[in-house]
Structure 1
Amino acid sequence: MQHEPTKVDRDYLRHFWHPVATVTELEKAHPSSVGPMGVTLLNEQIVIAKLGEQYVAMRDRCAHRSAKLSCGKVQDGRIQCPYHGWQYDTKGVCQVIPACPDNPIPNKARVANFDCEERYGLIWVRLDSSYDCTQIPYFSAAENPRMRIVVQDPYWWKATAERRWENFTDFSHFAFIHPGTLFDPNNAEPPVVPMDRVNGQFRFIYETPQDMNVPDQAPIGTFSYHCSMPFAINLAVKKYTSDSLHVLFNVSCPVDDSTTKNFLIFAREQADDSDYLHIAFNNVVFAEDQPVIESQWPQDLTSDEVSVVTDKVSVQYRKWLRELREANREGREAFRKALLDPQIESNRKYADLTQ
């Protein structure tokens, strides 16, 4: 007799900021360039738009007869429903009902709105702000005037955000999935590195092997990771070949229980070559990863997988996810403690270590 797999509790993810679209996507979604645009986050259908100077996110369902607001338009600084023209302000409160303009607007004529901000050319949404202890993930190149920053088009995988995170931080797969592209196949034994928890991030450093036969576009050197929980990875690479800085910022949006919309921003200090050389290289690497990660089943992380010592990064990641999931059931203070209490393994010093 077969049993249905246990549904993974993802409620704790609602407390985090997740990217749902690039600014460019929103600008292209409607001739007005300000939306609206429909997106999905954690199975929640959301409409995003720019109302005046403010980016907004709210439930994509009119309170009147349940039409999608994302099928409407922005009118007079409000989102207008396509069905009967009801207009909603930045707080999701209906301000206009054309069919009865002289009648009071019912108090229930509103839709749920969510925290929404633009940062790094991405639009971020937080579904639950009640704990108020999470930040938009860290991108190290954002304020560096020496860096050329490029926001790539998002890419979609039929995989969970947890699986994508583990793939991006997995040292052992380089030699087998990316031989000759990103790594030398003769370097299959990675080191086990100390991992620190600081301000909601995993931080660790991996010195990749030197003198590997890989393309110039391959960002090989000293890998410094700042991984903002739960799904953002800031990988800063001091390249061996040019002694220049290259940053990859990858973050996955958990669209639903089996789909991720993935965002990549890359930045480089040496910027006299074409952006498209790097975009094409990144796409080749993703194309090598994608079929393998999409083949993993079950799609959710499962406790019956066999781990070895060189799986330390994923083992520690799974442990932290479990702690956050359990703390969420206890409440705000437990969640804040699980997320922000430092745990230091290395001998590195951190100027931003506040606890």
Structure 2
Amino acid sequence: MQSEFNFFQHWYPLSPIEDLDPKQPTPVTLLGLQLVIWKPKSSETYRVFLDQCPHRLAPLSEGRVDEQTGNLMCSYHGWQFDSQGICTDIPQAEDPQLITKNQQNLCAVSLPVRQENDLLWVWPDAKSTENAATTPLPLSPLVDASKGFVWDSFVRDLEYDWQTLVENVADPSHVPFAHHGVQGDRQQGRPIPLKVAQSTPNLIEVYIDRNYKTTITFEPPCHLEYAIGVGNSGKQLGLVTYCIPVSPGKSRIVAQFPRNFATTAHRLIPRWWTHIKTRNSVLDGDMVLLQQQEYFLQQRTAFEGWKTAYKLPTNADRLVIEFRNWFDKYCHGQLPWSEVGIKVPESPTINSDRSVMLDRYKQHTQHCSSCRGALKNIQLLQVLFLAYFVTVVSGVAILPDALRIKLGLPLVITALLSLSVYTWLKFWLSPKFYFVDYVHAQR
């Protein structure tokens, strides 16, 4: 009998560290567990607690980092917790020894954390800290500056399940079609000779032996990576993804994009520009397909398995098949929602509201420090350019006739240019941080 896979005893990256705000707590969900990320004032390392105050279960993510103590304060009654989750202050306590006498019973639940490769990692099982200490992080060898690699990181919440996310990333053959004009060209669709190198409970590895030699590895439960060789010059690029199970029908992708060439371009192109032009567009193109695919698969698997619901006749689907077989064999085709008290709805539903499905702000912008900062600056520029236009036009209108042509005309031209920039910022650039509809038929 095969041992059952334990999703809770593995490391997961929650977010790129640069996207976290050290001044206030951040809520996040992993495997149905509501967590809070926060940073003690005197620490270089973030902490992750269950998002529940032990007093009356109020969310600690609505709390604050106290300016004086540097501890996490619950906003409901002011209880405070240090970096280890130990309660340090109860304002309502009549007995000064109350905390000391009941310390173990008054703690917030603190989870093991690590900070590596620019990511914040958490081990979501507080009862197996010894295992956490001896289990290596699923790091990519490509995310290594000492080897000449540069990379940027990306995070987005997705409106489909973890298994759908893994299956999609494991499928290179969809790229020319689903991402035509973004990262692919549908005219370049062709057979992909995927070959399985190994398939074990802890690692699935396949490779593609052609012009760009590619190795794809899946290290359960979340690490799925493409390592791509570019010619014989030693140039490499990669797609390093971490597929995070959030809740039924919800997932999060944390991705890194390393390469050891074109490093100057990497430094010159703003991170937020890459996010709005490429990263989000790729996931938008997937989202409108995968939500419905997931819905139809759930309907079909009520009376048949994926092996008959899907038609998988080509080698391009080999990794999808290996993943599905692994999921059936070691996880019984299910995520452990029942272990955290979540009941999966028997009848699948689908969200047809594209503004919700493709809500870039909620799914990405609010989580990304680069995009938040860029959007704030763009909104400020809109105000300045519009104010300049109004001020100049109003000023020219009251100029004496003798000056209106000589001085007013150049000013009006600059005002019109200012209005043009304002229009571009407001109606073209700003919306890309919020919502961009993705219609495959129009691409």
Could you tell me the TM-score, scaled by structure 1's length? Answer: 0.75
Contact 1:40 1:255 in 2 (8 A): yes
For 1:135 and 1:104, locate their aligned partners in 2 and report how far apart those are by CA, in whole Å.
Answer: 39
Contact 1:172 1:190 in 2 (8 A): yes
Q: Partner letter of residue 87 of structure 2?
A: C
Name the SS of the counterpart of 1:296 in structure 2: helix
Once the two structures are superposed, what CA deviation does each residue of 1:222-257 show, in whole Å capped at 9, x if it has no partner? 222232212222212222497621122111221211
Aligned residues: 303
For 2:7 and 2:73, locate their aligned partners in 1 and report how far apart those are by CA, in whole Å.
Answer: 30
* Alpha-carbon distance, 1:182 to partner: 2.1
Report the equivalent of 1:227: 218
Cα distance change, pair 266–175 in 1 and its aligned pair in 2 (3 A): closer
1:321 aligns with 2:327: yes
For 1:42 and 1:295, locate their aligned partners in 2 and report how far apart those are by CA, in whole Å.
Answer: 22
* Alpha-carbon distance, 1:20 to partner: 1.9
Report the equivalent of 1:62: 53
For 1:175 and 1:16, locate their aligned partners in 2 and report how far apart those are by CA, in whole Å.
Answer: 33
Q: Partner letter of residue 268 of structure 1?
A: R
Q: Partner letter of residue 148 of structure 1?
A: V
Show structure 2 runs of 5+ residues with no match.
335-443
Name the SS of the counterpart of 1:111 in structure 2: coil
| Equivalent residue in structure 2 for 1:95, among 62, 85, 88 | 88
Once the two structures are superposed, what CA deviation does each residue of 1:187-208 show, in whole Å capped at 9, x if it has no partner? 3322131231479332222145
For 2:180 and 2:50, locate their aligned partners in 1 and report how far apart those are by CA, in whole Å.
Answer: 45
Name the SS of the counterpart of 1:173 in structure 2: helix
Report the equivalent of 1:4: none
Report the equivalent of 1:36: 25
Show structure 1 runs of 5+ residues with no match.
1-9, 28-32, 211-220, 329-355
For 1:71 and 1:256, locate their aligned partners in 2 and report how far apart those are by CA, in whole Å.
Answer: 21
Report the equivalent of 1:158: 159
For 2:234 and 2:180, locate their aligned partners in 1 and report how far apart those are by CA, in whole Å.
Answer: 23
Cα distance change, pair 324–179 in 1 and its aligned pair in 2 (3 A): same
Name the SS of the counterpart of 2:225 in structure 1: strand
For 1:252 and 1:65, locate their aligned partners in 2 and report how far apart those are by CA, in whole Å.
Answer: 33
Report the equivalent of 1:205: 207
For 2:197 and 2:5, locate their aligned partners in 1 and report how far apart those are by CA, in whole Å.
Answer: 26
Q: Partner letter of residue 178 of structure 1?
A: H
Cα distance change, pair 47–299 in 1 and its aligned pair in 2 (3 A): farther
Q: Partner letter of residue 147 of structure 1?
A: F
Could you tell me the TM-score, scaled by structure 2's length? Answer: 0.61
Report the equivalent of 1:351: none
Taking the TM superposition and a 5 Å limit, the aligned residue runs for 1:289-300 are: 289-298=286-295
Taking the TM superposition and a 5 Å limit, the aligned residue runs for 1:217-256 are: 221-240=212-231, 244-256=235-247
| Equivalent residue in structure 2 for 1:272, among 264, 267, 288 | 264
Superposition CA RMSD, Å: 3.0
1:108 aligns with 2:105: yes
* Alpha-carbon distance, 1:175 to partner: 3.6
Structure (1 or 2) with the greater strand fraction:
1
* Alpha-carbon distance, 1:316 to partner: 1.0
Report the equivalent of 1:285: 282
Structure (1 or 2) with the greater helix fraction:
2
Q: Which structure would you say has the larger Rg?
A: 2
Contact 1:160 1:299 in 2 (8 A): no
For 2:236 and 2:285, locate their aligned partners in 1 and report how far apart those are by CA, in whole Å.
Answer: 24
Cα distance change, pair 184–261 in 1 and its aligned pair in 2 (3 A): same
Taking the TM superposition and a 5 Å limit, the aligned residue runs for 1:21-32 are: 21-27=15-21
Comparing 48-57 with 303-312, greater Cα deviation is found at 303-312
Name the SS of the counterpart of 1:14 in structure 2: coil
Task: Provide the identity percentage.
Answer: 23
Q: Partner letter of residue 313 of structure 2?
A: V
